[in-house]
Structure 1
């Protein structure tokens, strides 16, 4: 759909909502908007992992509805497979315009109280950009990096204070926004510390004594942020850093101690997470993610079993154990030496083929999901470069989403991914919440589908060295 003026849409919706206010409580929250290039027929409003309302798109891809008796706080606007957080208080109206081709970058909130959602979304987008900042600054000395993060935090707080002066923010929102800025600041320091302990160890002794003083202020059971990426990313990075600090503090030099995808390191992070977090809604997703990663990157049946045993020993109270056991069975079939040539894949042309019939060259598969936009764009960019460098290898993209075949084809086309190399799992036997753990996994195999190596990460710093070794083995 070609939208000439999103403002016209918002004015129409605003008129509708103004009429609705005459017959409804002034504390109701009115929600409306438009989705350009929709990927599904509805949007969902949720909070703390509970769906509050489903609003269906009309023939013009517009939606409208209302929420009653809400509490101030963060809510999630979902248009499967995408989502973004927004902040709502009683009496607000949320008018949302978004283009799915650039969901996070295009989403815009209008209406009463919209400045709160736009501020929180902007913090999220800035946090995403911090990936590039970290790569630019992690080689500088700790004192200089500390000054950089102090400066970033000060700018964010000044922006919040300016917004407060203009809008007279509620105390609830002001404190939530300030805490989100703090969490971004904490996360920057955790990510820097992780890189220092892994790649710039000569800087470890130069880290100031007060560099991590903020750790005392982290609330690992902050229920109001359990849907917020910045907060969840902080917890994830904190646990990673602690696991690597353990290796250095105990003079453990073996790679398996600090390798974040080694079973040894993942088991340590499971124990750290279990002791750190009491809130089950926050703890269980982390435990499930770590257990899934441990299974996926296991090199033998003993390692797989050790992950399941640990999850049972810590008295995990979630519902994913059957799925983890299913993943364990799947991983057992993906160990080196096993043959998966009979695996059925769906090509972008709609044809179902067996993996062994795809190529006469050795194959390396990489995996992606339409739900992880940033990841699949970076992955395909990397793979395009590798295809050029190593034409003797057939790099195959495998989409792991359940169903959604038409959306997968559209995303492939819209991003100009090479259709001849794009496939989709014919049958997905794992829960969607666990699928994302496959996204950094690559599988090296010969043309018949015999697995040569199955524990390689897409973001491994020595990926090209591993590929060259794979090519060398084939030529012997």
Structure 2
């Protein structure tokens, strides 16, 4: 199928490729291609969260440009709200073809230097499949999962050796690919550890010696992989599990698995602050954790606690957290959001006051986080069936991305009633997406009753819903 698709790609890009200067220029990189069903008239190329270039689409939805001063490494191509990684080094001439209706599955790379990006894409697709694997296999005993994860790791390594034997790959890329395979393995083990501790604690006594020895190999200052999802997912999952393990060992709280609890967030933030000396890596995780703590704050006292903690860390974006804290004061318990505007699926502007008729749960989601929104909709569907006394309203945070929002709803057969999107706001979308993990419990007048709870499929979360219903 992919071979047939590749022929179509070559054909569709023939006219564009024919316009390219075929002379080799070892000092530059050519990046071009075509986007079918584009959301915007440009794509963004970045590295380590720094903008490299903006490439415009022509009338045929094609783009192409020579890039100078490219250092070998992983870059991100972004066409909001989608993004994917590409490997670039001087001398490359890479063509990209993608259909936004099925971004990751349709994405193909061709041209000189494309085999590296194709390798990373294949690893991404397999890694995404492993997300389902962990959810299917976490119920098995640790010894059995140890064999499964070892088998996956060894298979990846074997394929890597075969790939390097057949292709002339640079030393930088081989280092990236080899480390990526290891971090995929680390994350499989880390996620399994978390799941059994949460759902099958009796299995924790059966964990073989050395099962988590990989933790000693995690490099919290790996600048080569610092913005690569395999690496960042591993660190994120490690911080979560270690914070929970510490809580369980010390018997600190009634619910150690409440990852939205300020004490849990504080433990994870303190841990990354002590483990990483690389500002870009450290600040990435501190930003996520501190943003979550702020958006979960229910009153001025809680908010002051978070800001005081943020000031105690080696964190460079404290001013952004101060701005977010000012926004959060409008979302404390007891505040009304009745007058805030949102868009319905017909593109009409309405308000929360217009749509809230009884006790309501507002959940927030973004197209940029596929794994999360798929889980959110599955979880919400089950809750809707169990608690008809409540309305569950989904609000998409991707301001201005109406076509993508509606496409996701339609492609996944999600009901359009009770689905809305953010509209006008006096703060940017970069702040809006920081509210991804927050739920708003509203009374029938659209007044916030609680906003310090994150969505969960746990019995503890359902107890919170029952308590809300009975208030």
Normalised TM-score (structure 2): 0.91
Q: CA deviation at 1:376?
A: 3.0
Aligned to 1:11: 14
**Count of aligned pairs:** 465
Aligned to 2:351: 354
Structure 1 residues 306, 383: CA separation in 2 closer, same or farther (over 3 Å shift)?
Answer: same
Q: State the SS of the aligned residue for 1:459.
A: coil
CA distance in 2, matches of 1:100, 1:451: 37
Aligned to 1:317: 316
Tell me if 1:271 matches 2:270.
Answer: yes
CA distance in 1, matches of 2:32, 2:232: 28
Query: Per-residue CA shift, 1:366-388, capped at 9, x if unaligned?
Result: 11223333433443344344444
CA distance in 1, matches of 2:225, 2:100: 24
Aligned to 1:232: 232
Q: CA deviation at 1:40?
A: 0.7
Q: CA deviation at 1:406?
A: 5.0
Tell me if 1:211 matches 2:211.
Answer: yes
**2:39 and 2:403 in contact (8 A); partners too:** no
Aligned to 2:440: 443
Equivalences for residues 331-350 of structure 1 within 5 A: 331-350=328-347
Equivalences for residues 156-305 of structure 1 within 5 A: 156-255=156-255, 257-305=256-304
Q: State the SS of the aligned residue for 2:19.
A: helix
Structure 1 residues 130, 414: CA separation in 2 closer, same or farther (over 3 Å shift)?
Answer: closer
Aligned to 2:62: 62
Structure 1 residues 253, 305: CA separation in 2 closer, same or farther (over 3 Å shift)?
Answer: closer
Q: State the SS of the aligned residue for 1:348.
A: coil
CA distance in 1, matches of 2:442, 2:185: 42
Structure 1 residues 432, 225: CA separation in 2 closer, same or farther (over 3 Å shift)?
Answer: farther
Structure 1 residues 149, 411: CA separation in 2 closer, same or farther (over 3 Å shift)?
Answer: closer
CA distance in 2, matches of 1:142, 1:299: 40
Equivalent in 461, 464, 467 of residue 465 of structure 2:
467
CA distance in 1, matches of 2:427, 2:199: 35
**1:38 and 1:61 in contact (8 A); partners too:** yes
**1:327 and 1:430 in contact (8 A); partners too:** no
CA distance in 1, matches of 2:171, 2:322: 46
CA distance in 2, matches of 1:214, 1:21: 46
**1:442 and 1:457 in contact (8 A); partners too:** yes
Q: CA deviation at 1:464?
A: 4.2
CA distance in 1, matches of 2:22, 2:86: 21
Q: State the SS of the aligned residue for 2:458.
A: coil
Structure 1 residues 173, 465: CA separation in 2 closer, same or farther (over 3 Å shift)?
Answer: same
Query: Per-residue CA shift, 1:280-315, capped at 9, x if unaligned?
Result: 111112101100111222344322211110110114
Tell me if 1:147 matches 2:108.
Answer: no
Aligned to 2:305: 306
Q: State the SS of the aligned residue for 2:368.
A: coil
Q: CA deviation at 1:196?
A: 2.8
**1:363 and 1:444 in contact (8 A); partners too:** yes
Moved more, 93-102 or 436-445: 436-445
Q: CA deviation at 1:396?
A: 1.5
Equivalences for residues 359-378 of structure 1 within 5 A: 359-378=356-375
CA distance in 1, matches of 2:113, 2:62: 20
Moved more, 393-402 or 153-162: 393-402
Root mean square deviation of aligned Cα: 2.4
CA distance in 2, matches of 1:136, 1:316: 38
Q: State the SS of the aligned residue for 2:131.
A: helix
Q: CA deviation at 1:409?
A: 4.5
